[in-house]
Amino acid sequence: MDVAKRNKSVEIALIGDLTDNEVEVTERLLSVPAGGKCTMFIDSPGGSPYSAISLTTLIRLRGLQVTGIVTGECSSAALWPFAACLHRVVTPFSVLLFHPMKWQSEEHVSLEEAAEWARHFHHLESEMDNLLADQFGIRRDEMASWMQPGRYVSGQEFAEAGLAELVELMPIPSPSRNGHAKSTRSRMTKRQAATTH
């Protein structure tokens, strides 16, 4: 393999509904060699919990060193793949919605099937909440204040909890009189990213 290609960082866009984009995101993750590095830009309202588990499993079992950057929203099911990222980045404008899982079905099912699904759903919700807390490296009771009844958490608050690095958006450099952009350095707020193994 060409050295330049091997060293080139893979960038993945997780934009929109997780379920609708699962195939494309999965293919992009599989293009990263096991144990390799990539960057995932996230702006997603969530989607299927099964899609969330699949992407999270893929990241962790292949040992991918993913830098997850919330460029807009990271809500609901999108939280799981973000939690699986080794390095997490948010801005003051990032928004993360934590809430209990919701079940929706448009299919006609029998009473027995509905009862079985309710049993499975209760188990799935509990296991996924435990997994999310483990991936973020926090106690479940700490996360519960965000999950019940459901709350939007700002990037600032998320970083203050020690779960991500907060990066301020830099101003656009102003041009100098000779037409060259002046090198202006903005102050950046950085926090140590939470890492999970």
pLDDT in tens, 155-180: 999 999 999 999 998 888 877 666 55
Superfamily of domain 3-166 in CATH is 2-enoyl-CoA Hydratase; Chain A, domain 1 (3.90.226.10)
| 148 closest CA partner among 80, 79, 98 | 98
Residue 114 tokens, joined: 């509905």
Q: According to the model, what pLDDT value does residue 107 have?
A: 62
pLDDT in tens, 84-120: 999 999 999 999 999 776 555 556 666 666 666 666 5
**Rounded Cα gap, residues 151 and 154, in angstroms:** 10
- Rounded to two decimals, what is the model's pTM? 0.75
